[in-house]
Amino acid sequence: MMEEKKKKEIALALSCGAVRGYAFFPIIDRLEKEGLRISAVSGSSIGALVGAYYALHGELNSLLKIATSMTRTDYLKMLDPNFPHKSLIKGEKVRQFLEENFFGQQTFDQTKIPLFICAVDLTNKKAVYFQEGPIIEAVMASISFPGIVPPYRQGNSLFVDGGVLDPVPVQILVDNNYDKIIGVNLMGCQAEIKKPEPGLWPTIITSFYLMMEKLAWRESSSQIYMINLKFKPDPTTMLSFHYWEENYQLGQQAIEKHLESIKKWLRE
């Protein structure tokens, strides 16, 4: 482990990926244990939620404890049906849970490190990167998955999931002059979906995640190191947040695989 005075600084870009976001926890934990200081974080969708919590609280253990202690029934209580008017759920109970348990009305000015949250502005047809205002508003905009949650209204704009245009928001960190950026891409699959399931939910998820998978792939460079994880292609469980163990273990395996290469990259 590096001595305190020799700690290396990195910025993190955390991708979309719903329940796959459990992979972030062991990756970030191991990077910290190796003496790496996370100096900024950007995120889309689940990456925005986890990144915002980390930037605000400076740790993820308490978030992991809450998330993994919840049962399937606990998560189902947050589903407020909205079908067929605008979306499958209204999202109001999700917001209430996140506000009460994670973010309150705290703002970007209160984070311990700089935070950039990506969402897609449907009104102006572009990706935007929140850097000010209430964190809960930015997180809700970034996690509003089309068809599942209605577009999130702020002012005169409607926002949807940041992963629609920028699944792994590394460029915003480049633009803000961070020299060493680690991107964590959760959108890879171990195999193709041989026979997609029919029905509204699998069709929506499979279609959007196929698009996001293509957009998310990036190669490493002297400035950016990409950790591209691969998961089992099972779109029907993407929002089953009580299934966390396998995704957490994939994160453990990924950081063990990449750690020595990351150290070498940091010395370059």
The catalytic site residues sit at 45, 161
How far is the C-alpha of 145 from the C-alpha of 160, rounded, in Å?
6
CB 48 within 8 A of CB 77: no
Give the count of beta carbons closer than 10 Å to the beta carbon of residue 6.
8
Preceding omega of 196 cis (within 30 degrees of 0): no
Nearest to 27 by CA among 215, 266, 257, 191: 257
CA–CA separation, 188 and 227 (whole Å): 10
HEC-encoded secondary structure of 49-67: HHHHHHHHHCCCHHHHHHH
Distance, in Å, from the CA atom of 245 to the CA atom of 222, rounded to the nearest integer, reads 33
Q: Could you tell me the two tokens for 185?
A: 């891409």
Measured distance CA(228)–CA(182) in Å, rounded: 10
> Rounded to the nearest 5°, which phi and psi values hold at 197?
-75, 140
Residues 182 and 164: their CA atoms lie apart, in Å, by: 20
User: Which residue do the tokens 């041989």 mark?
Assistant: 194
Whose structure tokens read 């606990």? 74
